[in-house]
Amino acid sequence: MKILVCIKQVPGTNKVEVDEKTGVLKRNGTDSKMNPYDLYALETALRIKEKYGGSVSVISMGPPQAKAVLYEAFAMGADEGALITDRKFGGADVLATSRTLSQGIKKFGEFDIILCGLQTTDGDTAQVGPEVAEMLNIPSICNIEKIEQVQDNTIIVDMDMPEDIERVRVEFPCLLTVKKDIFQPRLPSYIKQQQTQKKDIDIFTFSDMEDQNEKKYGLSGSPTHVERIFPPTSDKIQQHWQGTAQEISGQIYGLLREKKFIR
């Protein structure tokens, strides 16, 4: 069984600020890390491998330094990795990212199960997984809270829905996005880290893409345009209310209605 995990490098903190003058994101410090939600996807892959056999590959799209998350994954137990990187891919939105990622995946190999995190901590859309699945023409199941069983060419999983848990069986190849807490991610192993620190990875650039239309990548291949970014209007207003209980409870009631806690 061949399993692939998509991992993204994200800023070390999501406490970003916007430069008031330029309207550009101020990324505090340069430290980056693996998207925390992807640790759960990777752990899920490693557990499936340990129980049913197979291999775990990891792939990431990003600048050259995003390599770091692949090595982090090796230290946790991933077997091989690929980085999709090219200046032409910069500024991609979900569509352009998914387009690039799905072609990188095709180049990398054939996989039975592709795992994604539920979302990232930066862009935070939770859309890349299903879009990649659509472009690869394979079924996708999101919000998985349990891997029940793997048999022959199918996997049985529990999908978390608003009011119930749906147990579904899906055929390979498929793409799954897993919930946080499906498994507790393991810590990287020092020994594995030492063994894999010089490991070769595959690098895919624009010339490796099946679709050679440059306009479909990066900023020009992105249908969404971020027009501006700005800090949220703070809810940290402070109000002091006093008066009779009748008045105060009336004010609270109005507030709860306004904020849609009651309707």
Nearest distance from C-beta of residue 94 to ligand FAD, angstroms: 3
Are 76 and 195 contacting, i.e. CB atoms less than 8 angstroms apart? Answer: no
C-alpha 77, offset from chain centre:
19
**In the window 222-261, what residues touch other proteins (CB under 8 A)?**
222-232, 235-243, 245-246, 248-250, 252-261
If contact means CB under 5 to 8 A according to the sort of partner, which of other proteins, ligand FAD, none does residue 116 touch? ligand FAD
Decide if residue 101 touches other proteins (CB under 8 A). Answer: no
Per-residue tokens: 9: 């490098």
If contact means CB under 5 to 8 A according to the sort of partner, which of other proteins, ligand FAD, none does residue 99 touch? other proteins
Are 142 and 128 contacting, i.e. CB atoms less than 8 angstroms apart? Answer: no
C-alpha 140, offset from chain centre:
14
- Rounded CA-CA distance 174/111 in Å is 8
In the complex, the residues that contact ligand FAD under the rule CB under 6 A are: 6-8, 35, 37-38, 41, 60-62, 92-94, 97, 101, 116-117, 119-120, 122-129, 224, 226, 229
- Rounded CA-CA distance 132/1 in Å is 20
- Rounded CA-CA distance 150/222 in Å is 37
Nearest distance from C-beta of residue 79 to other proteins, angstroms: 26
Decide if residue 203 touches other proteins (CB under 8 A). Answer: no
**In the window 12-71, what residues touch other proteins (CB under 8 A)?**
14-18, 25
Decide if residue 166 touches other proteins (CB under 8 A). Answer: yes
- Rounded CA-CA distance 100/61 in Å is 8
If contact means CB under 5 to 8 A according to the sort of partner, which of ligand FAD, other proteins, none does residue 179 touch? none
